[in-house]
Amino acid sequence: MCALIPFVRIDQFLKPLLALLLIGVSTAAPARPTTEGPAPEERAHVEGDDAPTVADDRVIRLVHFDLCWPASDEEYRALGKHAILMLTASSMFATDLPLTLAYVETDDAATPLQRVALFKASQAKETPDAEQTRWTQVAFYLLPIHLTKRDARLLVDFTGQRKAFGVTTFSKATGLDPRLPEFLHLDQNDSPGQANIEALKALLIREYPDYFPKESVKPETPASP
């Protein structure tokens, strides 16, 4: 089941996962314009839960998210107690992309998220009557579920000077969505483990077929240590 929501803490065991990970998608950087002017002061700067559904010509940067939870207790454990976070970042400037970091900030730490896929940026108008085009790029991350049960903020860094851009917040008092499966609520020992690559591939193909056609998801060659 997929739902709109987000998380983070990068443990040492997760670092090799990126090198092992699948995904035959392009990671090329977007084309860069020859010049970029300063952002006009009168344009809106809207972040986090106050962000609009669709960016208009007044919004410089925008990040939407989709959080996909494990469908069963078996999948939950196979994924190392992670969910999948999809971030769709857009900006008026190609030089803002890709996102250089996504992380969850709590009172005691800022935890970077492990990115597992990055797609090429595309340029288009958000609405038919928009005067300007925007650059948009999609990326997928592993999200330790235990971080969604804490008071925390999901933040991202754009390429360049724009850092700590707010995407959404989590609340310990609110907890998980009550409509989510019971096993996600009841697990008291929910520290993340290593995600099984085959389980991750299966979830991405099942839940995001537009991005991960079955024949295109192939293991990459592990990076040199």
**Tokens 């948009």 correspond to what residue?**
136
Q: How much of the chain, in percent, has pLDDT values that exceed 70?
A: 67
Cα separations (Å) of 52 from 60, 132, 165? Answer: 12, 17, 15
CB of 59 within 8 A of CB of 46?
A: yes
User: Of 20-24, 66-70, 113-117, 217-221, which gets the smallest average pLDDT?
Assistant: 20-24
pLDDT at 14 over 80: no
Distance CA 146, CA 8 (A): 8
Using pLDDT thresholds of 50, 70 and 90, give the confidence band for residue 215. confident
Q: What is the mean pLDDT of residues 76-101?
A: 96
Maximal CA-CA distance, the chain: 53
Distance CA 205, CA 71 (A): 13
Distance CA 79, CA 67 (A): 14
What are the tens digits of pLDDT across the range 42-73? Answer: 344 455 555 555 555 668 899 999 999 999 99
Q: What's the one-letter identity of residue 96?
A: D
Tell me which H or E stretch contains 116: strand 114-118
Q: What share of the chain is helix, strand, coil (3-state, %, to 5)?
A: 20, 25, 55
For the chain, the domains span: 2-26+63-213
User: Of 9-18, 106-115, 128-137, 199-208, which gets the smallest average pLDDT?
Assistant: 9-18
**Apex 35 CA angle, 31 and 38, nearest 5:** 115
